[in-house]
Amino acid sequence: MSPLDAKKTLKNLKSKGFVLAKHKSDDHIWIEFWHKGKLTRVKTKISHSSKELNDYLIKCMSNQTYLSKSEFVDLATCPLSHEAYIAILKTKKIIE
């Protein structure tokens, strides 16, 4: 699988309901998924120094966001909409 651009991935995840976490880390950018004004248990992180997300990091982030690897790539590159992501999370009973 091709690597993903870390900055574009972060930007696209933020457009899908993820927000920067209030707690800071020296080595990672933490992002959390909010739904209907409430924090969910969905969160992931991107290294401050990361320019590309390799296959291993994509797999880790897909697990943290409760998606398959291909679904995560679609979420990060925009074919998977915010609404479709919410539907997946509801199906998996991650959110109500």
CA dist list (Å): 44 to 14, 21 = 12, 10
Name the pairing type of β-strands 28-35 and 52-53. Answer: unpaired
Name the pairing type of β-strands 18-20 and 52-53. Answer: unpaired
pLDDT tens, N- to C-terminus, the chain (96 residues): 789 999 999 999 999 999 999 877 778 999 999 999 999 999 999 987 779 999 999 999 999 999 999 999 999 999 999 999 999 999 999 998
pLDDT tens sequence across 23-39: 777 789 999 999 999 99
Give me the pLDDT at residue 91, please.
97
Give me the pLDDT at residue 27, please.
81
First CA to last CA across the chain, in angstroms? Answer: 32
